[in-house]
């Protein structure tokens, strides 16, 4: 099993739709979780951290399920500008261990 | 507010040539990283430097060397470029809160597009 797995997509959704992505991780010692967004030919940028209690930022909601070892990202009221690749990122205890990136899920929001 | 700056942005090399990718960050971060990104492969760690004076191999270190010149700068060198090293290279940096088991945001440079012919 790979360390961090994501459905590559693409997810093609109409404007205004709600879409959800899941990401599974294999290391139960993982402590920190993030969602990054990467636009075509650009660098990845932090979208949001994922906290144990779940967190929301506007139209975006992130959840963590430690028992099943997955994190999720929910996007409500999708906008054309949400079209991008979403990367799941997992870090392990200890701090010096590098972050592990998923390969990303591609989202296309269609007018 | 520059963040992470890497140069060059584009480079074409002939097989066997050498080159160095430069990276500098102005956020006073301890940790710096070099990743490569290839279609369908995602981001793969080449080398990282947890703190000034230390470097460690990542997932795909073969064919590369690194130097952590000081706290700000972390360079990646290709000694003898091969077509398999054609890729987009990203430098990144982060601050790590030891003891709190919490990673802060990792910031990326804009990328360097390298083609080896």
User: In B, which residues are within 8 Å of A34 by CB distance?
Assistant: 103, 105
Q: Is the pLDDT reported for residue A87 higher than 60?
A: yes
Q: Which residue has the tokens 């949001």?
A: A48
φ, ψ dihedrals at B109, nearest 5°: -75, 175
Angle at A103 between CA B15 and CA B49, to 5 degrees: 65
pLDDT in tens, A6-49: 999 999 999 999 999 999 998 887 778 899 999 999 999 999 98
CB-based contact A86:A35 (threshold 8 Å): yes
**Per residue in B4-50, pLDDT tens?**
999 999 999 999 999 999 999 999 998 899 999 998 888 999 999 98
Nearest neighbour of A101 by CB, restricted to B40, B43, B99: B43
Tallying the residues shown for chain B, one arrives at 117
Strand A105-110 relative to strand B87-97: parallel, antiparallel, unpaired?
unpaired
pLDDT tens across B55-69, in order? 999 889 999 999 999
CB contact under 8 A, A98 and B33: yes
pLDDT for res B100: 41
Using CB atoms, pick whichever of B40, B45, B110 lies closest to residue A43.
B110
């Amino acid at each position: 099993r790979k360390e961090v797995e994501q459905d590559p997509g693409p997810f093609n959704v109409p404007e205004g739709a709600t879409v959800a992505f899941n990401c599974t991780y294999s290391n139960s010692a993982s402590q920190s979780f993030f969602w990054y967004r990467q636009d075509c030919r650009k660098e990845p940028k932090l979208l949001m951290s994922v906290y144990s209690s779940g967190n929301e930022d506007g139209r975006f909601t992130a959840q963590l399920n430690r028992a099943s070892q997955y994190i999720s990202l929910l996007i409500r009221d999708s906008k054309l500008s949400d079209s991008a690749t979403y990367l799941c990122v997992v870090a392990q205890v200890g701090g010096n261990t590098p972050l592990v990136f998923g390969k990303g899920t591609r989202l296309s929001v269609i007018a | 507010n520059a963040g992470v700056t890497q140069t060059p942005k584009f480079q074409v090399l002939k097989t066997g040539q050498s080159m160095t990718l430069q990276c500098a960050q102005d956020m006073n971060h301890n940790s710096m990283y070099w990743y490569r990104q290839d279609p369908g492969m995602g981001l793969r760690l080449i080398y990282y430097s947890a703190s000034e004076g230390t470097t460690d191999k990542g997932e795909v270190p073969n064919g590369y060397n690194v130097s952590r010149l000081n706290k700000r700068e972390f360079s990646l060198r290709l000694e003898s470029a091969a077509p398999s090293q054609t890729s987009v290279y990203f430098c990144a940096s982060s601050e790590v809160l030891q003891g709190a088991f919490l990673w802060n945001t990792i910031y990326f440079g804009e990328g360097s597009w390298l083609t080896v012919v």
